[in-house]
Structure 1
Amino acid sequence: MLLQEWTMEEQEQLIHFMTTNTWPFDGESHPGRTIIEKAIEEGGYESDEVKTFWVENELGVKVGIVKIYDLQDEIPLFDLKIADVSRGYGYGPKALRLIAKYVFDLPEQKIRLEGHTRQDNVAMRKTFQRAGFVKEAHLRKAWFSPKENSYYDAVTYGITREDFMGGTTTPVIWEDVEKGKEEPRIPVFLDSFESERLVIRAPQIEDSLDIWNAIRHSLPALREWLPFAQSEPELESTEENLREAIANFITRKDLRLHLFKKDTGEFIGSSGLHRIDWSIPKFEIGYWLATEFEGLGYMTEAVRRIERFAFEELGARRVEIRCDEQNKKSRTVAERAGFILEGTLKNDSLSMDGKVLRNTCIYAKIEGE
């Protein structure tokens, strides 16, 4: 993705973009042409204080627009808007990181960047969090909605120059947080990386058909070990589960990862970092592979790369793999990836049909091993 500076010659494109999309959390959810023309005329999109950029995706399609203002101050503000048809594809966080890079690369050495949104604008708040911004203020009844003639709470998110340059996230220590119970720092990290043969990335809504087909065709192999493979999946429920996974990734509650072959782009399975404890930090790697790709070493390769991601990018102190004692394929992956069997929990779980007690093997690696 990239930011492409808007010019006055593109006035009609800007007017079309602003008037044909909806902005439900703005004062004007459906702005008319006159309003946009007046804003342009008064320097609301281009001046010494304001610069406007198109947000273009990898195909050169204009998926959004961002206005950066108060550029003469040490603390610029921004307003990011993504087109209706382009929402839900992860463009917001990527655009926000580009905005931060632009601001902090300015010769004036800006000290921070901030943005505001309505408290109930969940999508924008997750965008802030995913891009490494920290919630810094909650303003009660500070956002007026003319359409509803009502006031809403507003929230402010910011990122400092030090955090952006250092790839860190420093949470605000609120006065009502007890000493010793501060929220753990969660590092900023990319949502996609590669191994020798694989692209490993965060889930996206367009993955739903691939996942659905892979599970359907792999049910005989997956059914004995995984709760979601007990019956023929429905596409609708697969999409619902995927949306939840995307939300959890954004909020860092759970980091599901999808695996694709580099050479063909085929979806081959799923892995990820689960049961996360950011205070240590420690993670558990889980995984399943589509039947047609078994026996080729893909999952061992993926686990090794995800383990490296956990230790090098997330600061992990411990990474685990837990599996049923009788799940020979899963145990083989853990052992080939160099994980050490620390112990076996006797009668720790039930078989998928709920009739037999099963043992759980715990494999692990710790920092420095």
Structure 2
Amino acid sequence: MNADDAGHPWFPVWGLRLETPRLVLRPAREPEMDSLCRLAVRGIHDPAEMPFEVPWTDVPSPLRERRTFEFILGCWAGITPEGWRLPFAVCVDGAVVGMQDLAASDWQQQRIVQTGSWLGRDYQGSGLGTEMRSAVLHLAFEALGARRAESNAFEDNAASISVSRRLGYVEDGERFVDRRGVSTRQVCLAIEADRWESSPAATMPVTLHGVTDDLLEQLGVEGHTAP
């Protein structure tokens, strides 16, 4: 672990680091935030499409970079034991290629997490999306004691739905969300902890660094102790 991964004495979550065979996921701090802003403005999807519930990629530069930066800052500022969103920079060979987040609301009562992610267009189509989501699911189920993970995707977002199914999620309903002024169907998918434990995806090698008692306290995790 280098100095940039060393966390912070008052902010334990910054010491997290998740490693998979191809990826390193680390908390998006200022250097990674700069890289994510530059990557976002280069393009994430076909402009004719909109995979996100909040259409933040419709905003032109430099406002897109500013809002990306502000979103990540807001995630860190909003962490409480009751709810949190952890934005990770996804890195391949030291280069930032995308972002993966893990979020929870009413965490201490529900122990349900949600995920969201994006990759720069140059890095799509090679299985990185599955690998990065698998990394945060390992964190959620194995370290934080989540009982369920959920993911919603517009019905035409085949890539996101494919990642969910590959990891063992099953369809769990639908909802309709405004997308660019049109009510559009979203597919709701979920995976329970016991299904995750028996799924092939759970066997993917993931190394978790920085899971400490201080981190668990910061995130409101009860009944678990750091390894």
1:202 is matched with 27
- Deviations along 1:310-358, one digit per CA (max 9) or x if unpaired, are 000110011011111111111111111221112222xx1011x21x211
1:232 is matched with 60
Written as runs of structure 1 = structure 2, the 5 A alignment for 1:253-264 is 253-261=84-92, 264=93
| Matched-pair contact (CA < 8 Å) for 1:259–1:271 | yes
Report deviation, 1:273: 1.3
Partner amino acid, structure 1, of 2:51: W
Written as runs of structure 1 = structure 2, the 5 A alignment for 1:10-159 is 58=2, 93=8, 96=9, 127=10, 130-131=11-12
After superposition, the Cα gap between the structure-2 partners of 1:92 and 1:258, relative to the gap in structure 1 and judged at 3 Å, is closer
Distance (Å, rounded) in 2 between the aligned partners of 1:319 and 1:331: 14
Q: Secondary structure at the match of 1:368?
A: helix
After superposition, the Cα gap between the structure-2 partners of 1:292 and 1:92, relative to the gap in structure 1 and judged at 3 Å, is closer
| Matched-pair contact (CA < 8 Å) for 1:282–1:317 | yes
- Deviations along 1:197-222, one digit per CA (max 9) or x if unpaired, are 11112110112321122111125437
Report deviation, 1:90: 7.8
Report deviation, 1:249: 4.8
Partner amino acid, structure 2, of 1:321: S
1:218 is matched with 43
| Matched-pair contact (CA < 8 Å) for 2:86–2:101 | yes
- Deviations along 1:32-61, one digit per CA (max 9) or x if unpaired, are xxxxxxxxxxxxxxxxxxxxxxxxxx46xx
Report deviation, 1:291: 0.5
How many aligned positions are there? 188
- Is 2:142 the partner of 1:350? no
TM-score (norm 1): 0.47
2:98 is matched with 269
Report deviation, 1:245: 2.5
The structure whose RCO (Cα within 8 Å, separation 6+) is larger is 2
2:208 is matched with none
After superposition, the Cα gap between the structure-2 partners of 1:350 and 1:366, relative to the gap in structure 1 and judged at 3 Å, is same
The structure in which a higher percent of residues are helix is 2
Root mean square deviation of aligned Cα: 2.5
Consecutive unaligned residues in structure 1, runs of 5 or more: 2-57, 60-88, 97-126, 132-187
| Matched-pair contact (CA < 8 Å) for 2:7–2:14 | no
2:136 is matched with 306
Report deviation, 1:250: 7.5
Distance (Å, rounded) in 2 between the aligned partners of 1:238 and 1:365: 29
Distance (Å, rounded) in 2 between the aligned partners of 1:339 and 1:250: 27
After superposition, the Cα gap between the structure-2 partners of 1:220 and 1:197, relative to the gap in structure 1 and judged at 3 Å, is closer
Distance (Å, rounded) in 1 between the aligned partners of 2:16 and 2:130: 20
Report deviation, 1:239: 2.8
| Matched-pair contact (CA < 8 Å) for 1:322–1:360 | yes
Q: Secondary structure at the match of 2:186?
A: strand
1:245 is matched with 75
In terms of Rg, which structure is larger? 1
Partner amino acid, structure 2, of 1:295: G
Consecutive unaligned residues in structure 2, runs of 5 or more: 196-227
| Matched-pair contact (CA < 8 Å) for 2:75–2:84 | no
The percent identity for this pair of structures is 23
Partner amino acid, structure 2, of 1:323: A
Distance (Å, rounded) in 2 between the aligned partners of 1:190 and 1:250: 17
- Is 2:152 the partner of 1:322? yes
Distance (Å, rounded) in 1 between the aligned partners of 2:142 and 2:14: 10
| Matched-pair contact (CA < 8 Å) for 1:285–1:320 | yes
1:368 is matched with 194
| Matched-pair contact (CA < 8 Å) for 1:205–1:242 | no
Match of 2:127 among 297, 302, 311: 297
| Matched-pair contact (CA < 8 Å) for 1:204–1:246 | no
